[in-house]
Amino acid sequence: MLATPVTMVGMNQPQPKHRARKRFGQNFLHDASIIDAITAAVQPRPEQHLVEIGPGMGALTEALVSSGCTLDVIELDRDLVPGLLAAFCSKPGFTLHNADALDFDFAALLKNSNPDSAGNNALRVVGNLPYNISTPLIFKLLQNCAIIADMHFMLQREVVERLAAVPGNKHWGRLGIMAQYHCQVEHLFDVPPTAFRPEPKVQSAIVRLTPWATSPWPACNERQLRALVKAAFAHRRKTLRNNLKEIISGAALEALGIDPGARAETLQLTQFIEITNALHAQNAV
């Protein structure tokens, strides 16, 4: 089932009337306690540079920009742009981009960004990600972890469960492995359908992704890891021997202490790293 994109409607800021559009699957968050909880989780500060994906009608935008931070917002729906500009264009540090986040150049935002008090020049990303773009967008942002301090997203709860999954769990797969390779993942809290108008048919949740300051696996070749994990989960019901036969032999897996008859969902992240490092060493010879 495709999840509904969740767009936040302003609680204190007057906005032009905007009917939820089926094309974008919009649902408007109206629960002030949830907006406050998201703001408390993000804790924006004046010296920081934040990026909000999918500001909608600006409820969270209001809280973010009021902190005094530099705020770039990315909104695809052209009909929401006039209201956002009317509400926030006079706010210092506010910039609106009418663009698709999947095609957006996040690194370009740092050209006009100053390091914070700790000397860090990184973006903090916040957003409501609809199911149909959540996975590709997260993968895109993971490739930009070097310029990102943290990410806070509202997602379909099932996607958050995939991000925070552990081996042996039905949700353990490519998304969770690559997210946890790059970041610490925290499932913060759930958001019920009743918090939105109209109510979506799915549960939502807030997740925090914090890129590792120092990689726990500095020797790993990430490109090879991505290819390995993609192949390992190409057919979830097949064994590693079958899914990885074009990459590594069963005997080589056994030499690493890994059962080639196991399925990918049973492997620890560290075991994927071990296989990747073995492949990298083999190719370097």
pLDDT at residue 282 is higher than 90 = no
Task: Report strand pairing: 148-156 vs 204-211.
Answer: antiparallel
Q: What is the pLDDT of residues 155-180, one digit of tens each?
A: 999 999 999 999 999 999 999 999 99
Q: pTM of the predicted model, to two decimals? A: 0.89
Quick one: 283 exposed, middle or buried, by C-beta within 10 A (0-12, 13-18, 19+)?
A: exposed
Per-residue model confidence (pLDDT) at position 284: 62
Q: What's the pLDDT band for 62 if we cut at 50, 70, 90?
A: very high
Which structural domains are found in the chain, ordered by start?
A: 6-211 (3.40.50.150), 222-284 (1.10.8.100)
pLDDT at residue 15 is higher than 50 = no
* 130 upstream amide cis, omega within 30 of 0: no
Q: How far is CA 262 from the centre of its chain?
A: 29
Q: What is the pLDDT of residues 124-151, one digit of tens each?
A: 999 988 778 899 999 999 999 999 999 9
The highest-confidence range among 32-46, 53-67, 111-125, by mean pLDDT, is 32-46
Q: What is the pLDDT of residues 224-244, one digit of tens each?
A: 999 999 999 999 999 999 999
pLDDT at residue 9 is higher than 50 = no
pLDDT at residue 17 is higher than 70 = no
pLDDT at residue 58 is higher than 80 = yes
Per-residue model confidence (pLDDT) at position 96: 98
Dist. CA 208–CA 196, nearest whole Å: 21
pLDDT at residue 119 is higher than 80 = no
Per-residue model confidence (pLDDT) at position 114: 60
Per-residue model confidence (pLDDT) at position 29: 76
What angle is formed at CA 14 by the lines to CA 12 and CA 17, rounded to 5 degrees? 125
Residues in the chain: 285
* Bigger pLDDT: 7 vs 199: 199
Average pLDDT, the chain: 88
Q: What's the pLDDT band for 116 if we cut at 50, 70, 90?
A: low
Q: What is the pLDDT of residues 179-215, one digit of tens each?
A: 999 999 999 999 998 887 778 888 999 999 999 999 9
Per-residue model confidence (pLDDT) at position 16: 46
Quick one: 61 exposed, middle or buried, by C-beta within 10 A (0-12, 13-18, 19+)?
A: buried
What angle is formed at CA 178 by the lines to CA 176 and CA 179, rounded to 5 degrees? 60
pLDDT at residue 4 is higher than 70 = no
Q: Where are the alpha helices (DSSP H) in the chain?
A: 32-42, 59-65, 81-88, 131-142, 157-163, 174-182, 222-232, 240-243, 250-255, 269-284
